[in-house]
Chain A
């Protein structure tokens, strides 16, 4: 008596699942398929142009030992720039007064990363040039 009942219960257990579980499963399917399709789309029609980085000034502020400028490096190219060096130069006419530089570990394609450069003189009084100098292919 007990055995067939057990078997029957087992079958009931295994053949169907509550609706909310199916909801989670559909979500799982959508996530897996979505990311595969997205990656295939990026592989086929995606941008594979070299890094194209612009460095944009965000803010200038005074610190205890001088001045800090904060910038954003925006990569509009289709590939990652690794070890990107960013240089800031303070100029007065044709004369270069001060340069500072830093390295940003990675700037992925179509993404941005933030950083900062320190200067002794006040960048607001001179001409500030920010540029990306070079990178490595990951």
Chain B
């Protein structure tokens, strides 16, 4: 009797080690998969050393809060302690992946100052950290009712939409093209782009929100989604685009018209990110 309970506990302990080991492997897989495009983008290395240090610190704080949020909404139903643990392990994985890859690519080398090395690593640790935390979800196939409730609340949906926007905006904002495209567009182009962004978002979100509904062509449903998600999501996407562009110093010294254009241009992929977030994330 005593023996069997002892061996059961030992078995459970082993299972625990195994479970966390598998989790960690998933973390690394997700981290590498998500971060390779940004790790191999030269603007990202440059931003690592020349972007404003205060903005970088603020960005790191916000990214950590986002990772905590993702751990809460995406992870299984766990105690707060484990949510925090998951988030911190993802951070460790993110920093490890960023450091190892930057070393392998020869992007950090001797002769560089601490400021440069820490800047590059900490900026580029953000995408793999997000990848690591997102990889967690693929593992937890069974959702408990409480977890489902957590994930389907309005706040949770908006949060995930915001993460989707940040993720896509983050991929594109470092490039020169956002401002360049803005230069090539006229006011009409910009207005049309905003309308297209809204239409694409509406189509995505209608198909997600439909649930088991047979038809989505009811006016009440259409306008409900439009007001509750599309408009708010687009506003979120534009705000996040503006924030990310500011963080990367893309708006410094730019006139108001250029700022609006660049925000609308980046707002398009960010809007796609918001709408598709709940499909992808």
A residues contacting B by CB (< 8 A) are 9, 12-18, 20-22, 24-29, 31-32, 35-36, 38-40, 42-43, 46, 72, 79-80, 82, 106, 108-114, 138
B57 within 8 A of A: yes
Question: What chain A residues lie within 8 Å of B91 (beta carbons)?
Answer: 28-29, 31-32
- Assuming the A-B contacts A15-B79, A29-B91, are A35 and B116 also in contact, with contact meaning beta carbons closer than 8 angstroms in the complex? no
CA distance A12 to B8 in the complex (A): 12
List 11 A-B pairs, Cβ < 8 Å.
Answer: A9-B12, A21-B20, A24-B89, A25-B88, A39-B54, A39-B122, A40-B54, A46-B53, A109-B115, A111-B49, A112-B112
Q: Which residues of chain B are near A26, meaning CB under 8 Å?
A: 88
Contact among B81, B92, B113 for A111, CB-based, below 8 A: B113
Report A-chain residues with C-beta under 8 Å of the C-beta of B13: 18
Contact of A39 among B16, B17, B53 (CB under 8 A): B53
Establish whether residues A109 and B54, one from each chain, have CB atoms under 8 Å apart when the complex forms: no
The 5 closest A-B pairs by CB, nearest first: A28-B92, A28-B91, A110-B113, A35-B122, A25-B88
Q: Nearest-CB distance from A35 to chain B (Å)? A: 4
Cβ–Cβ contact B85 & A22, under 8 A: yes
Asked if A36 contacts B60 (CB within 8 A), the reply is yes
Contacts of A16 in B (CB 8 A): 16
Contact partners of A21 in chain B: CB under 8 A? 20, 24, 85, 89
**CB-defined contacts of B37 to chain A, threshold 8 Å:** none
- The yes or no answer to B149 lying at the interface (CB within 8 A) is no
B112: chain A residues at CB < 8 Å are 108, 111-112
Residue B50 interfacial (CB < 8 Å): yes
Given contacts A31-B91, A36-B60, A38-B118, whether A108 and B49 have CB atoms under 8 Å apart is yes
Bound CA–CA A49/B79 (angstroms): 48
Whole-angstrom distance between the alpha carbons of A29 and B88 in the complex? 6
Is B116 touching A43 in the complex (CB atoms < 8 A)? no
Determine the distance from Cα of A113 to Cα of B122 in the docked complex, in whole angstroms.
21
Q: Mark B1-37, 1 if CB is under 8 A from A, else 0.
A: 0000000000011011101100010000000000000
| Chain B residues within an 8 Å CB radius of A14 | 76-79, 82
Which one of B12, B17, B92, B116 contacts A109 once the chains associate, using CB atoms below 8 Å?
B116
- CA–CA, A115 and B111, complex, Å: 13
Beta-carbon contact of A35 and B111 below 8 Å: no
Known: A24-B89, A25-B88. A111 touches B57 (CB 8 A): no
User: Across the interface, do B60 and A110 meet the contact criterion of CB distance under 8 Å?
Assistant: no
* Complex Cα gap A39–B77 (Å): 34
- Given A25-B89, A29-B88; 14 other pairs, CB 8 A cutoff: A13-B15, A13-B19, A17-B16, A17-B20, A18-B17, A24-B93, A25-B88, A28-B92, A32-B88, A32-B95, A35-B125, A79-B50, A106-B46, A113-B111
Please indicate the chain B residues that have their CB under 8 angstroms from the CB of A28 in the complex: 87-93, 95
Smallest Cβ distance from B113 to chain A, in angstroms? 4
